[in-house]
Structure 1
């Protein structure tokens, strides 16, 4: 197991502010630490619960306080009774890190919680950002999130740095469904060689009635899955009353 040195948890702001105003406690940091420890309820939360609450500050306290648990050999507490049970793996187990990392991003990205996204990306390294997470950012139309992911991508920073981001698959479809053509252009400009699902993207463009986007995708090699698939789309477009899209399909 990897040995970790103790990393002191900073005192709660409320404890530091209150005691700072009392002259009798000046120069007694252990008093501030004791009061902070008494008031601190972060021990009642697991890392996953902190992610679901969307609190980067809570997650940061859990991260720092878990240093002392790395070498704790006491396994008497189960994770059902004590959230600290799993914290011992937060610094040492890549599988657990990947789980918290992925679940945290899945919660933070749709809500555009950039603070939590930044915390996860800067704290965990060498992990994978799934294409589903990227697709959620596209569906939310969050260019800021995409830029954060790109800035922390190992393909940008170099091997051994940052995290591996999966840009392909359904990301284009998600951007089209959110009616964010600027996100589509951004993806193609910054990650042109990603394994995008162009067929799914074309289908989404037609269903959304975006003829310009559909034509643009066709020029880049997007194809229909089969004739039956095109007929299904035509029926769906007709149901939406999009005559212009039907005319485009007919002209093809």
Structure 2
């Protein structure tokens, strides 16, 4: 049985049995006995003789150990693995698993007994001292934020700088209406409203791998994410901090509101001039939402017609398509 399977069964005793049965002197190898002689050779015997197989088994086991819901049991298995495996690599998945389950003590244990290693280099350079290399970063902070373990989120940011992905952290904060997290991302990561960037968002300072530009490239989805979560406070935060959808991506916002049926948010978008009523009417008509189209036609059509400059500049962005024009005509006939 593999070590990771034993960890799934939540049994340190089983780990001990596998380990004790892997001693190279328990039985000679087929090479020593000759063909056809002796008992069947088990790959378990590579556990102590082959460092690559040793590290492979450790990586699978440490991930399973970190996944356990019960911290005390998870910690017991992690400590057992550290007592028996040295100079191995704790993979990204184990760190993310501990973060997602709220196991801060395990993360602190990883940090305390961390040894140096070079990512991407030959792994033979890891010295077999007590402790293991830990791969921090990638989606560990994201896993903590998505599961509301913000104490772990802050701890990782402060104590384990590494390249990370924060796009989904931003998405989760918007959908949950977490203004504290949004303020943190704004302070440490996003570009300021004046166009200058926060130096804390650089990889050298904070260890965050994504750039401000990579996160801002997703800004067209910011308002849509807040709408999907039904978070008006997040929408107000975005507007106050200058992160509106922009003329090119207003349809994303409208579609999100239509799909979630949050029509009061559509009214808010019109009142705050994020989206024009005419565009909402067009998109609703194109999407076959006759109920929405009729409501907005009754409330806003006279105002739309009173605008001498409608459609607004640029013409290509605001002109109704043939399908939407036909749909609006259908709304007029049904009203």
Q: Same fold (TM over 0.5)?
A: yes
1:163 corresponds to 2:132: yes
Is contact 2:171–2:225 with CA below 8 Å preserved after alignment?
no
Relative to the length of structure 2, the TM-score reads 0.54
Summarize the Cα distance change of 1:229–1:71 in structure 2 as closer, same or farther, 3 Å threshold: same
Which structure has the bigger radius of gyration?
A: 2
Deviations 1:20-51 (A, max 9, x none): xxxxxxxxxxxxxxxxxxxxxxxxx4434323
The alignment status of 1:53 with 2:6, answered yes or no, reads: no
Q: 1:190 aligns with which of 159, 181, 193?
A: 159
Distance 1:161 1:218 in 2: 40
Confirm or deny that 1:101 pairs with 2:58. yes
Is the partner of 1:154 in helix, strand or coil? coil
Return the match for 1:245 from 219, 225, 234: 234
Which residue matches 2:103? 142
Alignment of 1:233 onto 2:233: no
Matched, 1:202 2:163: no
**1:66 aligned counterpart, secondary structure:** coil
Could you tell me how far apart the structure 1 residues matched to 2:11 and 2:114 are?
23
**Cα offset for 1:176?**
0.6
How far did residue 124 of structure 1 move? 0.7
Contact map agreement 1:203 1:233 (CA 8 A) in 2: yes
TM-score by length of 1: 0.70
Measured in 1, the distance between the counterparts of 2:224 and 2:22 equals 57
Pair 1:62-2:30 in alignment:
no
Q: 1:141 to 1:58 in 2, by over 3 A?
A: same
Instruction: State the distance in 2 between where 1:226 and 1:59 align.
Output: 43
The worse-fitting range, judged by mean Cα deviation, of 116-125 and 215-224 is 215-224
2:42 aligned counterpart, secondary structure: helix
Q: Partners in 2 of 1:47 and 1:72 — Cα distance?
A: 22
**RMSD (Å), alpha carbons:** 2.8
In structure 2, runs of 5+ residues without a counterpart are: 117-125, 191-211, 242-335
Q: Distance in 2 between matches of 1:47 and 1:116?
A: 11
Count of residues paired in the alignment: 201
* Distance in 1 of aligned mates of 2:98 and 2:183: 24
Which deviates further from its counterpart, 205-214 or 135-144? 205-214
